[in-house]
Amino acid sequence: MGQSARSGSQEYWRPANPEVMRLVERPLTGAKCWRCEEEYPPGARFCHVCGSEREPRAVTPAGSSSAAELQPQSLRQRLGLSRPCMAFFVLAMILLIAAVATGWLYKTETLVDWQAVQLWRIEWLLAASVALLAGILLKKKA
C-alpha cells in the first residue's frame, strides 16, 4: 500500500472553498399549498399533490370574460408579440379564412373549375404561411 493510503490524512472528498463557491439563495421551505395545504418541496414552483402554482393568479369565473381581455392590446401582451408580429398574425388568420371561404363561395361543375379553386386555395394558404413566417422572424427574443 502507498504512503497516502496508510496515513489517512489525505481525504478524497473536500468541502467547497467558501471563497470560491457561489452564493445561492436558500430555497423556501415550510410554505403550504393554498389549495390542498400540502407543504411544498424546497424550490418547488408547483404543488406536487394538486399541481397548482405556488403563487396563484387571480382566478375569474369560467363563463365570464371581461372586455379588456378581448382588446387587441391585451391579446398582444398575453401572447407576447410585438406590433409587427401581431399584424402578421392577424393577416395570416384572415388569409386562412379566405382559403376556407374559397371552397364555400365558388361552386365547381367541371374538373377545370375544381382545379382552379384548389389553385386559389393553395395561393391563399401559401400567403398565410408567408405571413406567419414573417411574424416569427420579426418576433423579439425575450
Q: What is the pLDDT of residue 125?
A: 92
Q: What is the pLDDT of residue 122?
A: 92
What contacts 4, CB < 8 A, 6 or more positions away? 10
Q: Which residues are registered as beta bridge partners of 39?
A: 32
98 or 56: which leads in pLDDT: 98
CA distance 117 to 111: 10
Burial 117-142 (b: 16+ CB within 10 A, else e): beebbeebbebbeebbebbeeebeee
What contacts 17, CB < 8 A, 6 or more positions away? none
Mean per-residue pLDDT, 105-133: 90
Average pLDDT, the chain: 75
Q: What is the pLDDT of residue 112?
A: 92
Q: What is the pLDDT of residue 128?
A: 92
Q: What is the pLDDT of residue 123?
A: 92
Mean per-residue pLDDT, 74-99: 83
Per-residue H/E/C for the chain: CCHHHHHCCCCCCCCCCCCCCCCCCCCCCCCECCCCCCECCCCCCECCCCCCECCCCCCCCCCCCCHHHHCHHHHHHHHCCCHHHHHHHHHHHHHHHHHHHHHHHCCCCCHHHHHHHHHHHHHHHHHHHHHHHHHHHHCCCC
The total of other beta-carbon atoms located within 10 Å of residue 85's CB is: 20
Q: What is the pLDDT of residue 27?
A: 52
Mean per-residue pLDDT, 60-84: 65
Q: What is the pLDDT of residue 119?
A: 92
Mean per-residue pLDDT, 37-53: 81
- For the chain, the structural domain boundaries read 31-56, 80-142
Percentage with pLDDT > 70 across the chain: 63
The answer, yes or no, to whether residue 63 has pLDDT greater than 80, is no
